[in-house]
Amino acid sequence: MADYGAITRKITALTLAVFVDLSLFYAAGFGEKRHSVYGNLARLWVVAVLRCLALVAVSLFTLGPLKPVLIRFIAVHSLLAAVAETGIKLLYGLNVESACGSVADMRSWLMCAGASLAAALFWELTIPDSNGEAAEKESKQKARVLFMRVLFMYKPDCALLLGAFVFLSLAAICEMSIPFYTGKVIDILGSQYQSSEFLSAVFFMGLYSMGGSLGAGCRGGLFLCAISSFTCRVKVMLFGALTKQEIGFFEAIKTGEITSRLSRDTTLMGRTVPLNINVLLRTFIKTVGIISLMMNLSWKLTFLVLMETPVTALLQNIYDTHYQEVQDSIARANEAVSEVVSSIRVVRSFKTEQGEARRYEDRLMDTHILKTRRDTVRAFVKCCTLIYIFGDMLNSVGAAGKVFEYLDREPQVSSEGTLAPDHLKGHVRFCDLTFSYLSHSNKTVLQDFSLELKPGQMAALVGPSGEGKSTCVSLLERFYEPQKGIILLDDQPLQSYEHRYLHRKIAVVSQQPVLFSGSIRENIAYGLTDCSLDEIQEAARNANAHDFIINLEKGYDTEVGEGGGQLSKSERQRIAIARALVRQPQILILDEITSSLDSESETKVQQALACNPNQTLLVIAHRLKTIENAHQIVVIGDGKVQECGTHQELMHKKGSYYKLREKLFTEANTP
Ligand SMILES: Nc1ncnc2c1ncn2[C@@H]1O[C@H](COP(=O)(O)OP(=O)(O)OP(=O)(O)O)[C@@H](O)[C@H]1O
């Protein structure tokens, strides 16, 4: 929330400072002409020092400790006239008259205020203070760096931007000139009518109007093209950066936030350079033109108009604070929608549609209230022209900051391994692993966990639910990094293997088969560029999917629908198995796949998998019947391997495996 107390203090400080400064400035001007040249110079210096001390005192009294930029401004503003007058007298002689020395002249005061403000701002922008308020300084510095980065990223569109700036300047100059000729026409009509002057004024009026429209149209078109091209580029880059992140990142960051960065923030970021510089440049040209015209008419009126500027700056401050709150609340509302859409079946089966609709409405209302507050402030700010643009620029830069945050994020699970041997045996060893999920760091899932998977053998992981079976698979896929211990593949650390190679050699079929919209053929060959139809069909046969596929109207070219929704769960599962088999992986992991397969499919798939004597097969199963033939059965409990052996050995031992079987058997037969 904006600190309204601080804002009121700043307004008081400004009003008091202007009052004190102007009082001293005018008081010192009385009797100026009666002094000699030296007397006047001495008076100028005394007044300068007095004003400087008075302004420092007022600022200390109202604002507390002073920032360096304010001290610089006060010093330059108070001393400028005295320094300039002394310099002129020294360099050009004592008799030279100059405006700087006239103390009670408002123009001299305005000139000094303007010059010192410009100098202080320039200093602040180019050489930021080393001992200013750390956080504020850092955020300003960050905004500048971000703006420069966005500007740099516009390099490929520089021709479009340049063209747009040329047309922008043309339009601004033309728009500014039209009132001048309109005034001329009115003057001619109101006084003595002279046809040649009248016609020339009308001609130029028309010419500038046409120039203005043409310039504005071309400027708008070129800017939009540049923004669109930039936004596309950034979206692709951001998407690429996101897909490289580790799985833990997606668990920690909400989907709504990610989509909001991809859709809204990239668009806002695209606006940063063109639209803000567009408005800034146009307003700058117009402001300079209009202020010079106004100064010619009346400097007093000009001063009055410019007095609103500090008020606008303060309003902008409030607006900026609200802006960020609105962005966050929009992301929360989007999150509610995506959660419901992705879990619509659960929502429907628990009949929570109304509750979810209310939740969404509540979040929208929060956004609405924040937006209303922000827009009220914006209405005030917009009334006051020029300063608005700086604020908007910073807002867009804020959005760019969030995009860069993801673009620059280094995945915490590195993918820099380079090993890609031609031959892989598929010998896996989990050595003393300790692991807990970052989101539940207080719960240790695996503790000093060790396990060996031998090439050409089938191992089965069994155990009660939630004991860490799927976690072992996730670690083998390098979705997470263990906190302690190491996983070796053919005696080499898993992370030293090349990322693509590893995922081609290790294939996983999970409990929930995930398909993407597209044809069956595309889904089986997912991620492979060099996969023939024969290979796809062979894999589908081994997964017991070929028969049902060829009976579909379009065979392998049948669309599966979003998430594979046009196929049954068993069909989806068999396609997912074919997708794993077509890679001819050295290590195949089946994570509880049997729950969605009928017994015929299950038998056929198992027969097909048993045909490959060189493959390491890891099966996670709840239905213990399906893993009785495994070379080794591993019972996991309390984050450790509790028992290990063949079915016969473990049954004979009458330990955890035996008890687990008994328990499952009792559960299955309990009505
Ligand atoms: N992504 C995650 N973030 C945080 N905790 C998780 C995550 N995935 C699993 N867990 C927790 O880790 C523990 C082990 O989960 P895991 O899925 O490995 O068990 P499992 O033995 O495969 O269970 P099941 O047989 O039900 O599939 C559980 O307590 C679970 O709540």
| DSSP, residue by residue, 594-612 | GGGS-HHHHHHHHHHHHT-
Q: What is the mean pLDDT of residues 270-287?
A: 72
Stretch (H or E) spanning 443 = none
CB 174 within 8 A of CB 219: no
Q: Does the pTM exceed 0.80?
A: no
Atom of ligand 1 nearest to the CA of 463: 21
Lowest mean pLDDT among 297-301, 477-481, 566-570: 297-301
CB of 548 within 6 A of ligand 1: the answer is no
Quick one: which of 281, 268, 288 has its CA closest to 392? Answer: 268
CB 580 within 8 A of CB 507: yes
Return all residues near 104 (Cβ < 8 A) that are at least 6 apart: 25, 26, 28, 29, 30, 32
Helix intervals (H) in 93-133: 106-126
469 lines ligand 1 (CB under 6 A): yes
Strand, coil or helix: 531: coil
Q: Report the side by side order of strands in the sheet with 632-637.
A: 506-509, 587-591, 616-620, 458-462, 632-637, 640-645
When pLDDT is cut at 50, 70 and 90, the band that residue 635 belongs to is very high
Q: How far does residue 465's CA lie from ligand 1's centre (Å)?
A: 8
Q: Is 442 in the pocket of ligand 1 (CB under 6 A)?
A: no
Higher pLDDT, 130 or 413: 413
Instruction: Give the per-residue pLDDT at 610.
Output: 64
Q: pLDDT tier at 189 (50, 70, 90 boundaries)?
A: confident
Dist. CA 437 → ligand 1 center (Å): 9
Which of the listed residues 445, 447, 595 should we mutate to test ligand 1's pocket, taking the one with most ligand atoms within 8 A of CB? 445
Please name the residue whose Cα sits nearest to atom 31 of ligand 1. Answer: 466
Residue 317: the pLDDT is 58
The DSSP call for residue 315 is H
Index of the ligand 1 atom closest to the CA of residue 248: 1
Position with higher pLDDT, 2 vs 355: 355
Q: Which of 122-136, 209-223, 469-483 has the lowest mean pLDDT?
A: 122-136
How much distance in Å is there from the Cα of 664 to the middle of ligand 1? 20
Across 559-584, average pLDDT: 85
Mean of all residue pLDDT scores within the chain: 79
**Would you place residue 304 in the very low, low, confident or very high pLDDT band (cuts 50, 70, 90)?**
low
End-to-end Cα spacing for the chain: 59
The residue contributing the CA closest to ligand 1 atom 30 is: 466
Q: Do the interacting molecules here have an ipTM over 0.90?
A: yes
Q: What are phi and psi of 590, to 5 degrees?
A: -115, 110
CA 485, 490, 495, 496 dihedral sign is: positive
Ligand 1, atom 13, residue with closest C-alpha: 466
Taking 90 as the threshold, does the pLDDT of residue 161 lie above it? Answer: no
pLDDT tens digits along 461-517: 998 888 888 899 889 988 888 999 999 999 999 989 988 888 888 888 887 777 887
How many angstroms does the Cα of residue 30 sit away from the middle of ligand 1?
85
pLDDT at 484: 92
Which residue, judged by its Cα, is nearest atom 11 of ligand 1? 466
The packing angle between helices 274-297 and 195-243, to 10°, is 150
> What are the distances in angstroms from CA 37 to CA 44, 86, 95, 464?
11, 10, 8, 100
Q: CA 247, CA 259: separation in Å to the nearest integer?
A: 16
Q: With a 6 A CB cut-off, is 249 part of the ligand 1 pocket?
A: no
How distant, in Å, are the alpha carbons of 221, 233, 277, 538, 600 from that of 216? 9, 26, 14, 62, 71
Contact between residue 69 and residue 132 where contact means Cβ atoms under 8 Å apart: yes
> What is the spatial distance between Cα 116 and Cα 121, in angstroms, rounded to a whole number?
8
Identify the residue whose tokens are 């045996």.
Answer: 425
Closest CA to 107 of 94, 96, 98, 120: 98
- Highest averaged pLDDT of the listed ranges 21-30, 225-234, 274-283, 365-374: 225-234
The domains found in the chain, sorted by start residue, are 4-132 (no CATH), 143-407 (1.20.1560.10), 428-510+586-669 (3.40.50.300)
Strands (E), 424-571: 428-435, 446-453, 458-462, 484-489, 492-493, 506-509
